[in-house]
A and B are shown apart, each in its own frame.
Chain A
Amino acid sequence: MSEPRFSVGQRVQIADRTPPVHHRVPSYAKGHVGVVERVCGMHANPELCIRGDGKPFQRIYRVRIPQTDLWAPYEGTDGDKLEIEIFEHWLELAQ
């Protein structure tokens, strides 16, 4: 188990890319910045599963993004949030 690269509360940016394989990042979240809500476990990398066992496993983080950042216009409040699971290799510290 490698040490988590990110910790709870850090601002992270989700990569904006579309590899030509099955991946688990929906388009609407790509490129967006959020805060690490929770550090989760290590799991098979879905992009590698088609050719084997998904190793090396990647850590998953729950990332919290304000709904008003994701959608415009958004019918709701500034407190509304979306929380999503993102693999570590899709995240960078936000500028």
Chain B
Amino acid sequence: MTGHDDHDHGRTFQPDHPEPTSDAALVGLALRELLIEGGHYTAEEELAVIAEMQGASPENGGKIVARAWTDPEYKKRLLINGKDSIKELGFDLEPYEFTVMENTDQVHNVIVCTLCSCYPRALLGMSPAWYKSRNYRSRVVREPRAVLSEFGVDLSDDVDVRVHDSTAELRYMVLPQRPAGTDNWSEDDLAALITRDSLIGTQRDLSTK
């Protein structure tokens, strides 16, 4: 696109957004315009990144889980080095590290970012509103069993809870347990079972129905 005199960057940027009114939103808009005018990147590149983020969905995470369920060697690599292992499937979370936490009969994992709302968007898509809420972020560290129960996950005392607070440069995904009775299922059929919440850890049992 050439000839930037005839339109307003503020309007080309996600045109359905309302005009910013808060100081923070105006500062963000001004910063973005300066970066574009300074040639650091183009409005088109910015829109492409937004489109890529919005195009991601939990199906991506589901493909990784299904591969781990069907390929024990892949699962080993994934649990040791998530960042490099997902590249084998065409995913990339650089510059973040990526850590996959495996649910077992004895352990249930759940992910949170108490400081803001860090989330592996390239693998899970946009985060749900509750993941960003103060209620979830403050309570799931303080009383994880109560919060999980509200999601329908009632853990007995012989299952340990591990809460993972995503405070810095790591991103997380839970590896849910493979449901019984799926021994002969294809990788694609297995991937279709996996839900967003099971990858965050607010769901434990996957349904094969």
Contacts and interface: CB of A to CB of B under 8 A. Distances in A.
Interface of A: 24-26, 28-29, 38, 40-41, 43-44, 46, 60, 62, 67, 70-71, 74-77, 79-87
A40 B114 contact: no
Given A25-B167, A43-B168, A77-B157, A82 B143 contact: no
Interface size class of B (residues with CB under 8 A): 20 to 34
Contact of A85 (B146, B157, B161, B170): B170
Nearest to B164: A83
A76 B170 contact: no
Q: Tell which of B99, B144, B168 has the most Cβ of chain A within 10 Å.
A: B168
Given A25-B167, A26-B167, A62-B170, A80 B143 contact: no
Contacts of A43: 95, 168-169
B160 A82 contact: no
Contact of B141 (A38, A62, A79, A82): A82
Contact of A82 (B95, B157, B165): B165
Contacts of B115: 24, 26
A81 B109 CA distance: 10
B76 interface: no
Contacts of B143: 74-76
19 contacts: A26-B165, A28-B141, A38-B99, A40-B169, A41-B169, A44-B169, A60-B97, A67-B161, A71-B142, A74-B143, A75-B145, A76-B143, A79-B160, A80-B144, A80-B162, A82-B141, A82-B165, A83-B163, A85-B169
A60 B169 contact: yes
A76 B114 contact: no
Contact of A40 (B160, B164, B165, B170): B170
Interface in B71-104: 95, 97, 99
B167 A84 contact: yes
Contacts of B163: 67, 80-83
Q: Top 10 nearest A-B pairs by Cβ distance?
A: A79-B160, A85-B168, A43-B169, A84-B165, A80-B161, A85-B167, A24-B168, A82-B163, A24-B167, A83-B164
